[in-house]
Amino acid sequence: MHNLISIADLNKSEILKILTLAQAFKEGLNKRSLVGKVIGTCFFESSTRTRLSFESATARLGGQTIGFADSGTTSLVKGESLVDTLKIISCYADLLIIRHPLDGAARLASEVCSIPVINAGDGANQHPSQTLLDLFSILDSQGRLEGINLGIMGDLKYSRTVHSLVSAAKLFNMQLYFIAPKALRIDDEHLFMLKKAGIHYSFHLKLDEVIDKLDCVYLTRLQKERYVDSVILDNYKITLDVLDKARPNLKILHPLPRQEELPIEIDTTPHAYYFTQAHNGLYIRQALLDILFTSEMKG
């Protein structure tokens, strides 16, 4: 077994193996590969979909979970260090799933814990299991991953889901359309990575500039604490008028939770896929846990 801290920990073949197994779980595969195993779900930051889908996946595979959804209930409030907390938790579980607001916290956990670690989101850094379910959702909705025209809109600078997704998109020769205010464009490090991989990308200020070219559009919320101008926020909303120009196959993805960028009237359009996307998280996390405990990744 090994850790999953960054999507870069997986090669293309390993990603496809996880997606294939997730499809089998979606089609009804029943496995009990976690019987007798205890999974630690340690969320130092709030979560709904990620935490509950990991806990559901564990239960469906026959395992049990221990952990917390609020670090305020731990000995951290008594002054215990994060390293000591992680070491103690690793005494009681067979695998640790961690979310933490600081970049690099999951990598630290993997270095001090004696058990495998899955990163469930660390600051603005990485969220690899989200990327796996995003890739699965693109494949499920489009029938392919290679050569997808993918629009990514919103906060591209601070979003860990975007950073992980962009890192994976280069493996499948996707064409990327970055739609964001200039101040929230994706960082130079990721752009350099894309250039090195020969991936074509372009920058846009509005979705309607490219909506007719896209197979999928991936939304993230613009955080009001960083961009309070309502006029700017309005430029990064999905609207019914914009969708009139979309390809029939266009699907809208969003890691959720949503705010003004994704109005509820979009839910009834044939382009809405984000709730199915969230459901897909269960199958991806079943596949990931099963592979980690059966060593199929090495096969």
- The yes-or-no answer on residue 74 being catalytic is no
CA distance 34 to 293: 7
Angle between helices 128-142 and 49-60 (to 10 degrees): 80
Considering the candidates 26, 49, 107, 157, report the single residue annotated as catalytic.
49
Considering the candidates 73, 78, 182, 298, report the single residue annotated as catalytic.
78
- The yes-or-no answer on residue 163 being catalytic is no
- The yes-or-no answer on residue 190 being catalytic is no
- 122 — phi, psi (to 5°)? -125, 105
Considering the candidates 50, 58, 131, 161, report the single residue annotated as catalytic.
50
- The yes-or-no answer on residue 99 being catalytic is yes
Distance of CA 113 to the CA centre of its chain: 23
- The yes-or-no answer on residue 127 being catalytic is yes
Name the nearest CA neighbour of 82 among 60, 112, 52, 103: 112
Considering the candidates 51, 127, 160, 190, report the single residue annotated as catalytic.
127
Considering the candidates 51, 58, 85, 99, report the single residue annotated as catalytic.
99
**Partners of residue 98 on adjacent β-strands:** 42, 119
Would you say 138 and 202 are in contact if contact means Cβ atoms under 8 Å apart? no
Residues known to be catalytic: 49-50, 78, 99, 127
